[in-house]
Amino acid sequence: MTKTLFPRLALASAVSLLMTTPALADTLRLGTVVSAPHPWVDAAEAFKAEVEEATDNRITVQIFPGGQLGNDQTMVDEIRIGTTDMIIGGVMNISSYVPDFEIFSLNYLFEDMDEFRVATDPDSAVFRYFDDAMAESGVGLTLLSLTGGGTRNLSTSTGPVTEPSDLDGVKMRVTGSRLDGEMWQRVGALTTSLPWTEIYTGLQTGVVGAFESTISGYFSSRLYEVAPYHAKTEHQIMMSHISISENRFNRFSEEDQAIILEAARHAGEYGTEKGVEYDAEFIQQFEDLGVTVTEVDKQAFIDQMVPLHDEFADERGLTDLLDTIRSL
């Protein structure tokens, strides 16, 4: 009797435990190179909140800000081998995999934020183009959303900049995009590619004396400590992406895929608006931080850089895409 009873009790206990123990959550690891406050971090948190609420925590999101998972290149490599799931970052840093993203390195491409919002809308021809381009690239990522990140300005440790000639011979950090380098070489800068996470040290050691970034990136990474001159070139509205491992995404049910996609698109819209908000908020604090903010001869920069738009489009067969963006 005793020998029979114990196994039955053990089985009953095991069944009861299984029935009362919630299923383990499916966790998405999401990385970004920036720290809060920054629109990418806000977008990540908005994505996390919506996904977890919509799935009743069946799917959770773990956010790794501040380059904890490495720079953009490292995160993309980790996504490709399956150790990381998602990334929010600048499109220029994945242009080595999806070369057409380089078009967003063209300074003074968008006339204003309204035009940018139209371009990043999930139903726009621009979004559809890059959704297809990423899928066809073989990088192993699925584009969930295009988002902003604020206005990009120029910052230096070498002195104030008001016109292009002030950059003549200055060593300047640029992204990994070849076109990004060419844009700044047009105004005399000596460009070098450097990961975002290495800019602070690069400025400290004199490897570079200038860089360009969003206002929020400059502020949140405390780059004003080593580059206290900030020029309002307003040369770009930051184009960013929210992307997920293609294999990981395909393992979700259609229902969960729809939840993830919708949450990412809402997060993208939120990130764009937070970029606008931060631009206005942070630049007002620069004077108290010891930053010299200068107005620039913007038309002089435009005259130097905009002729590269058509040259680039002709060379890369992207004239139709450039015309689409111009017609927004």
Predicted pLDDT of residue 328: 86
d(CA 273, CA 282): 14
Gap between the Cα atoms of 302 and 164, Å rounded: 10
Dihedral sign, CA of 318, 319, 324, 326? Answer: positive
pLDDT digits (tens, 9 = 90+) for 165-201: 999 999 999 987 788 899 999 999 999 999 998 999 9
The pLDDT assigned to 178 comes to 84
The Cα 54–Cα 266 span in angstroms is 13
Distance of alpha carbon 113 from alpha carbon 92, whole angstroms: 19
Query: At residue 46, what are phi and psi to the nearest 5 degrees?
Result: -65, -40
Predicted confidence at residue 24, as pLDDT, reads 55
Show the domains of the chain with their CATH numbers: 25-150+238-280 (3.40.190.170), 152-237+291-326 (3.40.190.170)
Name the stretches of the chain with pLDDT < 50.
Answer: 1-23
Count of alpha carbons within 13 angstroms of residue 130, beta-carbon side: 34
Question: Amino acid identity, residue 51?
Answer: V
Q: Do residues 37 and 44 touch, judged by C-beta distance below 8 A? A: no
What value does the mean pLDDT of the chain take?
Answer: 92
Give me the long-range contacts of 20-23 (CB less than 8 A, separation at least 24): 23/58
Q: Is the peptide bond before 228 cis (omega within 30 degrees of 0)?
A: no
Residue 151 three-state SS = strand
Spatial neighbors of 143 by CB under 8 A, at least 6 apart, are: 130, 131, 134, 135, 241, 242, 243
